[in-house]
Structures are given as structure tokens and as C-alpha cells.
Chains A and B, each alone.
Chain A
């Protein structure tokens, strides 16, 4: 951090910028470090939208009639976070038996889904929100794009709790 700057050609000028020794070395080292460390807060390599698949999915919470809840307003967190948290818990569960997330059974998905719904109720209540007391449902919507560029959606029931 305490690197010294090279003397400038304009050393007489008080406000001349000062070239540093070994330019771009620090930024280069930092880039490599961020790539190696990965997602360990406070460090990140910012992998948002780093690759794209011909399918994507999103999650939402609804009542048993299928009427959706405004997730941020009711539970205090976004549907994007619901997806990340659900997937992280699912990965943790299936990793215990040496499987991958894509190999999760319906029962495992339901178990994690129910856990998520419980977490969401508690989170909403802690932040002073009025959370629904009746049963709620976690749903996943799968969006796919075929070779002709046609986009389709499929809704999948995950859990009720």
C-alpha cells in the first residue's frame, strides 16, 4: 500500500500527476486474487450473467389458490433471494449423499421448499410484517428457448407450508 511514485518530468509543477512504479501490477494481482478467492464476502469476482443457458427459472410464493404474494412487501426479501436461498439449501442437502442439485428428488425439493417457507414467515415476522397464517405455496417457473428462438414457460409446484 505504501508504494512510492516515480518523480515526474514536471517535478516543478505542484499539481502534476505522478506515474507509479510497475504500473498495473497492483490491479493485475488484485484481479487474480479476486478470481482465486471467489465468492467469499467481502470479496467477489462479480459473476452476474457470466454465462447464459437456453433455460432460466424464477420462483414465487402464492396462496393455495395460486394467487401470488408480493414477496418483498410480505416477507421482506426478494424472489431472486428466495431462489438463491432455496438452491443453496438444496445443494447442501443433496451434497450429503454425494449427489448434484440437478439430481435432487421431488421429496428433497419439497423438504427444502417447506424449510424455505418457514424461514420466509419468520423473516417477515421479525421485520414487523404481517405474514399470512394460512398455508402458502412455493412455485418454480421454468422458461426455455428452443433453436428457433421460441420461448415457452412451465410452472412447477415445489412445496406447501
Chain B
């Protein structure tokens, strides 16, 4: 890659990094649900999390 192309590539990369930082992007998988009734605040157990019902091995070291 010659120098001008590298400069363009680098500028785009830094620009994208800046946008990602400014917008607060993340690598993490987040499930965004748009609407939730206000009653959840009074009855948190009524909400079913997308990640609920967790089952894992019982073990470890």
C-alpha cells in the first residue's frame, strides 16, 4: 500500500474509531427492547429477561 492510500486508510480508521467512541458503541451483545410497561417498576418479577433461566455447569476448580 503506498503512502497516500495508507494515509486515507488510517484517516478512515481513526475517524471510525472516533465515531465509535463518541457514539458509545460497544462490543457487548445487548438486547434492546423498545417499550416496557411502567408496571415493571412496581412488579419487577413480572419481567422476563431475554437472558433468564440461566443454567450452567456446577463445577469449576
Report if A and B associate in a common complex.
no
